[in-house]
Amino acid sequence: MEKEKIFAVLLFASFVMSGCATLGESTPQGKREQVLAMKSEALSDLYKVKPQARAMIAEAPGYAAFSNANVNLIFASFSGGYGVVVNNKTGKNTYMKMGELGIGLGLGVKDFRAVFVFHDAKTMNRFVESGWQFGGHADAAAKASDKGAAAGGEALIDNITIYQLTKSGLALQATVKGTKYWKDEKLNY
C-alpha cells in the first residue's frame, strides 16, 4: 500500500511540475517573452550564488539558460523543458527545446534551471546546430520556494561551464541520461 501512495504522489507531482517547464502562452511572441523572463530570472539566481559567473558570461562568446522539470520513478527518469542560447557577439537569441531520458536509481520530482557558458564560438554553434549531450547525473534536492537545499553545482564539459539551480522539488537520484537540445522552429524567425 505504501508503494501505491508514493507512486500516486509522484504522479500527481509530475503533472504539477510539468507546468513548470512548459510555455503557457499561446502566441510565439508571448512564448519568446516567457523564455526571456525565465533566462533573466535564472541569471539573477545564478549571480546571487556565483557572483563570478557574471564576468564569465560577459566575456564568453555566448551562453544559454534552460528551464527543466524532471521526474524520476525508481528506474526511469524523464524530463522536458525550453530555453534560449544568446550569442554575445551578435545579440541573436536562438530558442530551443530539450528532452531527457535516463535510467538508474532514483525517486522524485524537481524543477530546475541550467545556465551554460560557452567558452568558444565553435562549441556554441555546434550546440545550437547539433544540441546533443549525454552524461551521468547524481544529485539530491529538497526545496520549496526559498526553503530547503539543493545540490546541483557546476561542471565544465566540452568547453562549456554548466550551472544547475534547483527551483523546487524533492529528488534523490543517480542516473545515466541522454539529453537532446534542439531549435524550437516555432519561436525562431
Write b or e for each residue in 60-87: b if 16 or more Cβ atoms lie within 10 A of its Cβ, otherwise e. bbbbbbbbbbbbbbeeebebbbbbbbbb
Count of Cβ atoms closer than 10 Å to residue 147 Cβ: 8
Strands (E), 41-159: 62-87, 93-118, 132-144, 147-151, 153-157
pLDDT recorded at residue 123: 94
Q: Identify the residue whose cell numbers are 528532452.
A: 99
Low-confidence ranges of the chain (pLDDT < 50): 1, 5-21, 137-151, 169-175
The model's pTM: 0.74
C-alpha cell at 104: 538508474
Q: 78 by DSSP, 3-state: which? A: strand
Cα 73 versus chain centre, distance:
19
pLDDT recorded at residue 107: 59
Count of Cβ atoms closer than 10 Å to residue 169 Cβ: 23
Q: Which helix (H) or strand (E) holds 160?
A: strand 160-183
pLDDT recorded at residue 100: 75
pLDDT recorded at residue 20: 43
What is the bridge-based pairing of β-strands 147-151 and 132-144? antiparallel
Q: Which helix (H) or strand (E) holds 2?
A: helix 2-18
